[in-house]
Amino acid sequence: MTEALVVVEDLHIHFGAARAVDGVNLAVMPGEVLALVGESGSGKTTLIRAIQGLTHPTSGKVLFEGKEADARHLPDVQMVFQDPTGALNPRRTVSEIVAEGLRIEKFKGNEAEAVSTALSRAGLRPPERFLRRFPHEISGGQRQRVVIAGAMVTEPRLLLADEPVASLDASIRGEILGLLRNLVDTTGLAVLVVTHDLGLAWNIADRVAVMYLGRIIEVGPTEELLDSPKHPYTKALLSVVPETRGMEQQILSGEIPDPKRIPSGCRFHPRCPVLQSGESERLGIAERCRGEDPAIISAAATREAACWAVKAIAVAG
């Protein structure tokens, strides 16, 4: 088994009483695309900001190639943001923006060449046409390509993409996702993409991790997880994706709870359709659902769901 590029170990991030990330184990392998899926408020963005070093964890570790990283200065980890317009300084030209990473690194080679290469790899061709433009002079999709070029120019090993296409036109989304996939296939880059859109995960991810209220509740290879979800939360999420016809739509009751008051027991139990339908009762685990926290999924797990019902059925079956 190859060594993981990044390992997150028992990560907790609290903002006051709010537990945004509440015990997460996660490994990203070299060259894979891992999608982190969940509703807004589930802690996905906080998690990747911690991997990047923009947010300090309350406890737990982020290891890069086995070494604890002073994460902020990892040139090997770069980030792509949800809103490309906000991510670009309006007073800097495209070439200055792309070159920023190189300048911070005190790059010794030919900067102009590196910038041009990065731009054309990000699909902005010919690069000369874009070098002297300002961000407000190019389209939204092109802006996101500039952000990607700026991240790729230092040749990182891991790209963290926070909802990379959420703010873009539907017609451009496919292109940007194709670009990311292409970069992974040609350069061996690993991508951790955060999204609330399971369809997006389906399109580009090798593996999917589903997050709910600060914790990963199910992981697995994309096809397996999306074809046969185990956790009732994943099932509910999938049932409302338009592409999954034939699945009975399951609308969850209520909102995602306040991270200041995470429910006892399984954090999903107040909204869980398995518990509400009396299924848990039948399996004799209703008390567990309400009172006992399922174990945190380990980073090494290939296919697992943090759910008492899933475990009970597995034992029975």
Partner 1 sequence: MTVVVGDRKRQRWVEVAREFWQARSGRIGVIILAFFVILAIAAPLVAGTDYINPVKARAAGLPQWGTPAEVGPLGTDHFRRSVWDQFVYGSRISLLVGLAASFLTILIGSAVGIVSGFVGGKLDSALMRITEWFLVIPFLPLAIVLAAVLGRSLLNMIFVIGITSWPSTARLVRSQVLTLKQRTFVDRSRSLGGSGLHVVRQHILPNVSGLILANTTLAVPISILTETTLSFLGLGNPQTASWGKTLEEAFVNGAIARNAWWYYLPAGVGIVLVVLAFTLIGQTLEQIVDPRLKDRR
- The footprint of partner 1 (CB under 8 A) covers 52-54, 72-75, 77-79, 81-83, 86-92, 100-101, 104-105, 110-112, 134, 136, 147, 150, 154
Least Å from the CB of residue 289 to partner 1: 39
Nearer to partner 1, 61 or 73 (CB): 73
Least Å from the CB of residue 275 to partner 1: 39
Least Å from the CB of residue 81 to partner 1: 5
Nearer to partner 1, 6 or 88 (CB): 88
Least Å from the CB of residue 134 to partner 1: 5
Nearer to partner 1, 122 or 236 (CB): 122
Half-sphere exposure for 103 (CA within 13 Å, toward CB): 9
Other CB atoms within a 10 A radius of the CB of residue 44 amount to 28
Nearer to partner 1, 133 or 235 (CB): 133
Nearer to partner 1, 69 or 213 (CB): 69
Q: Mapped to the 3 state alphabet, what secondary structure does the chain carry?
A: CCCCCEEEEEEEEEECCEEEEEEEEEEECCCCEEEEECCCCCCHHHHHHHHHCCCCCCEEEEEECCEECCHHHCCCEEEECCCHHHHCCCCCCHHHHHHHHHHHHCCCCCHHHHHHHHHHHCCCCCCHHHHCCCHHHCCHHHHHHHHHHHHHCCCCCEEEEECCCCCCCHHHHHHHHHHHHHHHHHHCCEEEEEECCHHHHHHHCCEEEEEECCEEEEEEEHHHHHHCCCCHHHHHHHHCCCCCCCCCCCCCCCCCCCCCCCCCCCCCHHHCHHHHCCHHHHHCCHHHHHHCCCCCCCCCCCCEECCHHHHHHHHHC
CB 217 within 8 A of CB 307: yes
Nearer to partner 1, 110 or 228 (CB): 110
Alpha-carbon gap, residue 213 to 220, rounded angstroms:
19
Least Å from the CB of residue 222 to partner 1: 26
Nearer to partner 1, 107 or 279 (CB): 107
Least Å from the CB of residue 177 to partner 1: 20
Least Å from the CB of residue 73 to partner 1: 5
Nearer to partner 1, 49 or 121 (CB): 49
Least Å from the CB of residue 101 to partner 1: 4
**Identity of the residue numbered 10:** D
CB 82 within 8 A of CB 163: yes
